Structures are given as structure tokens and as C-alpha cells.
Amino acid sequence: MKRRNMVLSVAASLTLMPGLGLTQTLPQSSTNNYPVKPIRLIVPFPAGGATDILARALSQKLGEKIGQTVVVENRPGAGGTIGADAASKSAADGYTLLLATSSTHSIGPAINPKIPYNAEADFTPIAYVASSPNVVVVPNTLPVKTMREFIDYARKNPGKLNYASSGNGTIVHLTTEYFKAQSDTFILHIPYRGTALAIPDLVSGKVDVLFDSFVTGMPHVRDGKLRALAITSAKRSSLAPDMPTVAEVLPGFDSVTWFGVYGPKALPADITARVNQAVNAALADTDVKERFARLGAEPAGGTPQAFAAMVKADNSKWKKIIADRKILVE
């Protein structure tokens, strides 16, 4: 009897020792309980801007879906570079995420080789959140009412028309140069410190065209101060279903500002999947859809792989445009 009890005692003790293949007694992986504390969502732009407002609309519902508070932290500066860099250097535990944009991961890397991070290698793509098109607006006095008429008019008047942008290297600047290349037109560039400063000159006819953000451009169209010709997304938008696209005249034309969630590199696959699932669930929520629509953004969603492929293609497109148009930002 004593020998039998001794054997049972040794066997019981062995089940508590690690490395013996007895998985039922091993401690759970730390990722199995994720998340157990608040999640920080870095927004690399100032509070009150479009990216910040979108982040706050997403974070509330994302917190509900993932079962933990999601805290928005603004880390602005250098066109989004400072915040993106901070996120890239954070611990790969799922408690620091980044709401990136086309500025931080498509255009920035394409136009500035000195940014302190590698937009592809230093991050883990998680989810495509939303996209927002630009709208092509012109003065009411310009004798065109459609995109085709504008292109024909610009071709007949090379160098006589000008366009405004929000500054060199911005998506407004690059989108217009992309348009010029695709339409074979010659339109002079007048950079401003933000498109809002260009609106008075556009309304008065001193400037001939602006590829403005949908959010900031459409109010002037609704007020009757400007005329909208088209939007820049590949397909018509639910935000303005009757508005034609540039692509209907120039097949393949597509330029949007996108927003997406990243983690630092080497983020565990199960955490990536957990956040992706929660983001997709949040984007399906009616309240989030309505809040995004008020911002001029359309929810996206999908897999991490599809998001990564979209960003890679977008970056390649802007690299080519920057090289072909010889665009430099000092």
C-alpha cells in the first residue's frame, strides 16, 4: 500500500512540472486573456482634426466590442511622423495601436526617405477602417459643368488655368498632379497653407480648381458658392451617390485618404485577429456609420492581408507619381 501511494504521489507531482507535455497544467498564454487593461490608440495628428474625430468615433464602439477601454492619445507633428514612430517603437502586446493614414504610410514614405520608420517592416497591419474621397470644385464662373468639359477646356487653354493645394507634398497637391498626368493637361500650381485659405480665391475666380476634401469642399457646393464636378474615388460614393467620379472620364483614376489601424511589428497573430474582429464589428454599427458619414468617410473593414495589399498598392502609385512629376518637398 505504501509503495502504491508513493507512486501516485510522484505521478501527481510530475503533472505540475513544466515541459512534460501535460498541457492541461501549463499556465495560459498571456494573449489568451487579451485585453486586460485599457488600449492606447495613437492619433498622429492634432485633436479636433478629421483623423482625431474619426478616431474618437471608432474608439468608443471598438472599446465596447473588444471589452476594454480604448483611449485616444494625440501625438501630432511632422505630418504624422512623430506619432507613427512612437507607435512603431511600442511593445508588441496589443496595448498600443496606431490610427494611420495615407499621409503616414503611403505618401510620407514615398516622398520623404528620411522618415524614422519603415512603413511596411516596422508595423503589423490590422484593419482598414475608412476612406474619404476628394471632390473637384470650381468657381461658378468657370464655363464648365462636367469633368469632361473641364478637361477639354484645360487642354484648349494650356497654362492659363491654375489650381490650389494645401501645400507641397499633400494629398491635394499629389492628387491634382496625378489628374494632370492622366488627363494630359497643364495647370499651374498655387500652394496655400491649407485649403480653407484657398476658398475665397476659388469663389472669386482667382483660382480655377481645387481637389478638396469631401468634408470641407461640399458645404461650399451646397451653399451655391462653388460647383462640384466629380469625386476622386474609383466608384461612386454613398456619401453623394449622384456625384460622378473622375474615373468615369479617366478610367482607373482613384485617390482617397484612407485610415487604418496598425500595431507595432511582431504583434502576435491572435491579438491581430482579435483587434481586427473588433474593428470590423465596430464598423458595422449603425451609429459609427452615421458618424463617419458626417465626416465624409466611408467604413471599409476586411482582413489584415487585404489592408496591407491596399496600402502597398497605394504607396507604389504615389511613388510613381512623385517620380514622374519630379515632385520635391524641402
Average pLDDT for residues 219-228, to the nearest whole number? 96
Please report the domains of the chain, with CATH numbers, ordered by start residue.
Answer: 35-132+256-324 (3.40.190.150), 133-248 (3.40.190.10)
Supply angle C-alpha 76, 81, 84, rounded to 5: 85
How many residues in total does the chain contain?
330
Q: Using CB atoms within 10 Å of the CB of residue 294, give its burial: 0 to 12 exposed, 13 to 18 middle, 19+ buried.
A: exposed
pLDDT digits (tens, 9 = 90+) for 105-153: 999 999 998 899 999 999 999 999 999 999 999 999 999 999 999 999 9
Amino acid, res. 201: D
pLDDT digits (tens, 9 = 90+) for 50-85: 899 999 999 999 999 999 999 999 999 988 999 999
Do 129 and 282 touch, CB atoms closer than 8 A? no
- Model confidence band, residue 27 (pLDDT cutoffs 50, 70, 90): very low
The model's pTM is: 0.83
pLDDT digits (tens, 9 = 90+) for 260-311: 999 999 999 999 999 999 999 999 999 999 999 998 999 999 999 999 999 9
Q: Where are the beta strands (DSSP E) in 102-179?
A: 123-139, 162-165
Contacts of residue 238, Cβ cutoff 8 Å, sequence gap at least 6? 293, 298
Do 92 and 266 touch, CB atoms closer than 8 A? yes
Contacts of residue 132, Cβ cutoff 8 Å, sequence gap at least 6? 50, 213, 214, 215, 256, 257, 258, 259, 295, 296, 297, 298
Do 128 and 292 touch, CB atoms closer than 8 A? no
